[in-house]
Amino acid sequence: MLAAAFWIAVWQVVAMVVHRDFLLASPGAVVVRLGDLVVTGGFWATVATSLARIVIGFTGAAIVGGALATLSSASRVADALAAPLIATIRSAPVVSFIILLLLWTDSSRLAAYTSFLMVLPVMYQNILAGIRNRDRALLEVASVFRIPWMRRVRAIDVPAVLPFFAAACRTGVGLAWKSGVAAEVIGVAQGSIGERLYEAKLFLESADLFAWTIVIIALSVAGEAVVLWGLRRAQARFVGGPTHQGAPS
Amino acid sequence: MRNEGGPPEGAVMLSGVTRRFGDQVVLDGFSLALAPGRVTALMGPNASGKTTVARLVLGLDRPDRGRVERRHGLRCAAVFQEDRLCEHLGAAENLALVLEHSDPAAIADELRAVGLDAEAMAKPVRELSGGQRRRVAIARALAGDADLVTLDEPFTGIDVETKPALIAYVRERLAGRTALLITHDRSEATQLGATIVRLGT
């Protein structure tokens, strides 16, 4: 808390030195602007629009990443086919995808697709690592006793994959927001947070830029909290306690 | 009694089996017939390949040479050398996981029969003692209606006082089933009415 206060003080001092609101708004001006924004109906509509698209992208990445990881764990061919694709998506610059997607689709869908593409490799690689981390000794038990696969998934697979999936979610939520909003800015998606950021640049409103950035951070942190809360509940249900084991960073 | 083109009902035949791990020859031309409905005890020094035999019998491993014949559709169960329990689940849940029809009352009876009390049944197995965990592993293998059971040193970690009662339970549950017992203790084998086979020298 003290460190945060220090940096806010630094920001205040720099803003006073610069003394040009359009270049660097002071913390006070940003808070005032944020207060003005929050009470407008348009603010909440904008937040809802961006939130919906980014949630769709993130959820899609979790589902498709999980499905691809399951395929790759079961088939060498699928693994060999997926690996270069995932590596390419992972290392390609996000703006390349955004511009390519702009050629293919309209800007309203851009944020969802971009978030999806950025989160997909994280989901795929973590879930695959989780599947490969399953206890071989227990899998042999499942095979000897012919445990029905639904039971096996619940008792052996899910507890092994859950910590890896949680790690993917922690990384993925932030990534989805950053890349999704970047796509909205570049595509100037109507009624989105990205469009507000674009306008802030256009009209030299640095207070707006900071206010919306705070909104994005808050949404990202809240999103992460919601996802982790859900994962803790899943953990309690499937593993019966908050004890993590073998969780990757 | 022999069926045409296959081992007798419920039995497993290993003929001239060789199994290597790298340079190490664990089994060399080994043959074994598990008599149907009987307990066969496999005895031998450490690293003589006893566990490998159990794995071949269960179909978890394949021989480099020789044949392993098992009746198709054989229902198997095992007490592994390690407990191999689902750590986060309770004893009853570990049994329910492998049982075709899981009746909570019957499972509780089974766990009482191996000497687990209500307090132990209420905990996840990771909180149980070594002996209690071993009992859960034994109950898991014997509660169902498997035709073939392998028991790899099943009484490891069981205290001397309660061992006779546990052996009596295992003996009762093994009646009529084909079983492979791996042990260092001849008295365990005789108490379970096993035919003893020695492995390695």
A114-155 pLDDT, tens digit each: 999 999 999 999 999 999 999 999 999 999 999 999 999 999
User: Which residue(s) pair with B25 in the sheet?
Assistant: B20
> From the CB of residue B126, how many other CB atoms can be counted at a distance below 10 Å?
15
Residue A195 has pLDDT above 50, yes or no: yes
Say how many CA atoms lie within 13 Å of B21 toward its Cβ.
Answer: 7
Pairing of strands B76-79, B195-198: unpaired
> From the CB of residue A80, how many other CB atoms can be counted at a distance below 10 Å?
10
Picking from A136, A144, A158 by the largest number of B CB atoms within 10 A of its own CB, the best residue to mutate is: A144
Q: What is the pLDDT of residue A244?
A: 41
User: Could you tell me which residues come within 8 angstroms of residue B33 by beta carbon, excluding any fewer than 6 positions away?
Assistant: B7, B11, B12, B13, B14
A145 shares contact with chain B (CB less than 8 Å): yes
> From the CB of residue A38, how many other CB atoms can be counted at a distance below 10 Å?
12
Residue A182 has pLDDT above 50, yes or no: yes
Pairing of strands B12-21, B76-79: unpaired
Q: What is the pLDDT of residue B1?
A: 43
Q: Is A164 domain-assigned?
A: yes
Q: Is A200 domain-assigned?
A: yes
What is the CATH classification number for the domain harbouring A165?
A: 1.10.3720.10
Residue B201 has pLDDT above 80, yes or no: no
Q: What is the pLDDT of residues A64-101, one digit of tens each?
A: 999 999 999 999 999 999 999 999 999 999 889 899 99
**Residue B76 C-alpha, separation from nearest chain A C-alpha, in angstroms:** 6
Residue B3 has pLDDT above 70, yes or no: no
Higher pLDDT, A9 or A240: A9
Pairing of strands B178-182, B39-43: parallel
Q: What is the pLDDT of residue A56?
A: 97
Domain holding A48, by residue range, is 29-239
Residue B190 has pLDDT above 70, yes or no: yes
- Number of structural domains (chain A) is 1
Q: Is A56 domain-assigned?
A: yes
pLDDT band at B7 (very low <50, low <70, confident <90, very high): low
Q: What is the pLDDT of residues B110-128, one digit of tens each?
A: 999 999 999 999 999 999 9
Higher pLDDT, B59 or B101: B59
Residue A190 has pLDDT above 60, yes or no: yes
ipTM given for this complex: 0.91
Chain B residues close to A246, C-beta within 8 Å: none
Q: Is A4 domain-assigned?
A: no
Instruction: Break chain B into its structural domains and give their ranges.
Output: 84-145
Q: Average pLDDT, stretch A9-33?
A: 88
Chain B residues close to A141, C-beta within 8 Å: 78, 80, 84, 98
Q: Average pLDDT, stretch A193-214?
A: 90
Q: Is A212 domain-assigned?
A: yes
Q: Could you tell me how far CA A147 lies from the centroid of its own chain?
A: 36
Q: Is A94 domain-assigned?
A: yes
